[in-house]
Amino acid sequence: MLHFAEELLLFLLDEQNGTLLPITARTERLALAGAVLMELQLADRIDTDLETLTLTDPTPVGDDLLDPTLADIAAAEEKHDAVYWVERTAERGLEIRERAIAGLVARGILDKPEDDGFLSLTPEVAHARRYPSTNGTTQEDIKLRVMRVLFSDDIPDPADIVIITLIDACAVWRKVLSAEELAKARKRIQLVSRLDLIGQAVAALVRVVRPTARSARGGAGGPPLVRGLPLVTALSLWRDPQAFFLQQYQRLGPVFRVTSLGRNFVVMAGQEANLFMSRSERLHLHTADMWDPLCAELGASRFVLNMNGKDHVRMRREMKSGLSRLLLERQIPEAVSVVRRHLAAMPRNTPCPGLPAIQGLVGEMTGVVVAGSSAEEYIDDVRVVLKKLVTRGFLRIPRLPKTPRLRRALRRVAELSDKLLLEHQLRPGRRRADAIDDMLELHRADPMFLPECDLPLTALFPLFGGLDTVTSVGACMLYVVLKNAALRERVQAEADALFAGGPPDGEKVRELDVTNRIMLEALRMYTPVPGIQRRVTTSFDFAGHRIQAGEDVIFAYHVTHDLPEHFPDPQRFDIDRYLPGREEHKQLGAYAPFGLGVHHCAGRGFAESQLPLIVATLLHEAEIELVPPTYELKSVRWTLFPSFLPDKGFKFSIESLRH
């Protein structure tokens, strides 16, 4: 039998969009807590009446979803009512959720969530509407069981009473029933949901709206303000936004307000902020308007980065295969050829600007693999368009006359998108479909969802989405390897083993232990886009402060990367953090180099395969030296605010080709 928490999540799963029905994070935690307590009650471990929840048997159930709560109740020195224990257990709500999802994956009911975090039933369950169990029997789909109880006179069994009670507490009936259906089922819902005291406690807590705490600094409910002259604050942000956000987090806490040169925004940072973003973005936040100038200049009504809600989820799912790890792994020979061509064209024993070299390589590889076409000659133009228009959107700069360089870049970028779309339409019988083929097919199938005017920007998304970010991390990885002789020796040995016996495959790339751990640490220390802006659409409380609708919020999710409680000695480049036994990056809400929430990086899997392959191929093919050897990595800011890119001082020299 499934746990009640598992069945509740299955009922809340929106199968079309791969996400749970939108309820507040607090409601979800309370409902999962109620599910655990109700299951302990049915297992005869606890009992409850109107005044007290009582322990009847402290013997562990033998299940890590239930036993922590049972142990908590057994250890209590005083007796408490059901409301107390629901609230107490809800503190573990996130842990309960993760364990329930893991259990559903282990049972073959859910597919293992991939990089996008979306949930989906396995094909067997989705079509049979039955769940396999460990003893060889099957269990009917929870949605079918619930609807049978609501629309028949059958006597519900205790398990169905529990689930219906929890669903009612979550107030999601309007999301799964029409108004007419709900009117017919209302009396039945009310009858069933009154049958369990723990369920009533959950419902009562969900209805409670707690007043917002006042600021510790004596203001109203809003977050504390960063003190200082606006010009000084602006300069601090300009020079080093990562250090600025970290400093203010340590001084003011996880939420604070910044007022600087006409901008007024709230910053949220730290583990709890990251977890809030992961779980509650859809309920309270919008991608704001920072991408609007890019859409306007390319004639698009919207594209995936400024979509929200179901449209955003659908577009990401449609683009998934075209930006996946598997896509690159199927074309490793072509990707390796790109690196070799670039190395062959580079001068020998001559200092080479590191960032442009890696940028050209990343852009060309992405174009070849994702779009089936070279984009090398357009890379600089893509960067100019991104830098100017996205920064303008972030800073809310009014529309200004375009510089000649920007006008030329816009023409060239439009030329590139026309080239890509035309090539794909004239060559329908290609060897393999790619991301642009997928988008053209979506346009033909549903032109209202993806109209013709949005195709040019959509075709460019793979380049826009990863050019600066993957380049930045790749350059930082190469710098670290060239700077550290011991690491270089280990990476070069791995690289040579990768190519031993012929071209590598995806499995071998995934097994690059040292190189992959260097990537993970580079992503932590040199997070390419360590914060993102959102607009609040529905007010919420966080850390004792009210964040009002209409506010601009920056989630500085990189701050946890610099906190010793998550990453001891955080300024030290330490690839052993990711070894079994430490695995510091697996702490919930602590490691977020690809962003958080439903808008996290859509190309994460692709990047995690591309980066180690690039570095390994470079080290296998050539003898490369840092120029000068004493160079220390610095960054240039304000490309895509807030962002990290190595400065112009980062250079390397190709001494010779090894193969």
pLDDT at 212: 47
- Report the predicted TM-score, pTM, of the whole model to 2 decimal places: 0.80
pLDDT at 294: 86
> What Å distances lie between residue 108 and 11, 82, 123, 126, 173, CA to CA?
16, 33, 10, 11, 27
Over range 211-225, report the average pLDDT.
56
**Poorest-pLDDT segment among 23-37, 117-131, 225-239, 596-610:** 225-239
What are the pLDDT digits (tens) for 538-594? 888 899 898 998 999 999 999 999 999 999 999 999 999 999 999 999 998 999 998
Q: Which residues contact 397 (CB under 8 A, 6 or more apart)?
A: 391
Identify the band that residue 332 occupies on the pLDDT scale cut at 50, 70 and 90: very high
Q: Which residues pair with 541 in a beta bridge?
A: 546
pLDDT at 114: 63
Residue listed under structure tokens 């067997």: 124
Rounded CA-CA distance 297/399 in Å is 11
Over range 155-184, report the average pLDDT.
88
**Poorest-pLDDT segment among 103-107, 399-403, 540-544:** 399-403
End-to-end Cα spacing for the chain: 58
pLDDT at 136: 66
- Report the Cα 358 to chain-centroid distance in Å: 25
| 3-class secondary structure, 104 | helix
Rounded CA-CA distance 145/140 in Å is 7
pLDDT at 134: 64
| Cross-sheet strand order for the sheet of 285-286 | 255-260, 263-269, 552-556, 532-536, 285-286
CA torsion sign for 473, 478, 480, 483 is negative
Q: Which residues pair with 256 in a beta bridge?
A: 267
Kindly state the tokens that stand for 145.
């069981």
Over range 589-613, report the average pLDDT.
89
Share of the chain above pLDDT 90, in %: 46
Over range 63-70, report the average pLDDT.
92
Asked whether residue 348 carries a pLDDT value surpassing 90, the answer given is: yes
Give the chain's mean pLDDT. 87
Phi-psi label, residue 355: left if phi above 0, alpha if psi -120 to 50, beta otherwise: alpha
Delineate the domains of the chain, giving CATH numbers in brackets.
4-207 (1.10.3630.10), 316-526+600-657 (1.10.630.10)
Asked whether residue 52 carries a pLDDT value surpassing 90, the answer given is: no
Identify the band that residue 216 occupies on the pLDDT scale cut at 50, 70 and 90: very low
Bigger pLDDT: 342 or 197? 342
Q: Where are the alpha helices (DSSP H) in 292-353?
A: 292-297, 309-319, 325-329, 332-345
Residue listed under structure tokens 């005017």: 453
Asked whether residue 104 carries a pLDDT value surpassing 80, the answer given is: yes
Identify the band that residue 94 occupies on the pLDDT scale cut at 50, 70 and 90: confident
**Poorest-pLDDT segment among 6-15, 215-224, 328-337, 570-579:** 215-224
pLDDT at 217: 38
Over range 524-546, report the average pLDDT.
87
Residue 592's nearest CA partner among 563, 633, 631 is 563
Bigger pLDDT: 279 or 448? 448
The highest-confidence range among 110-119, 316-325, 407-416, by mean pLDDT, is 407-416
**Poorest-pLDDT segment among 290-294, 577-581, 612-616:** 290-294
3-state DSSP of 37-61: HHHHHHCCCEEECCCCEEECCCCCC
**Poorest-pLDDT segment among 76-80, 316-320, 348-352, 397-401:** 397-401
CA torsion sign for 463, 392, 537, 240 is positive
Rounded CA-CA distance 642/394 in Å is 10
Identify the band that residue 220 occupies on the pLDDT scale cut at 50, 70 and 90: very low
- Report the Cα 585 to chain-centroid distance in Å: 14
- Within the chain, how many helices (H) and strands (E) appear? 27, 18
What are the pLDDT digits (tens) for 480-521? 999 999 999 999 999 999 999 888 999 999 999 999 999 999
Residue type, 48: T
pLDDT at 429: 62
Kindly state the tokens that stand for 73.
């109740």
Bigger pLDDT: 430 or 95? 95
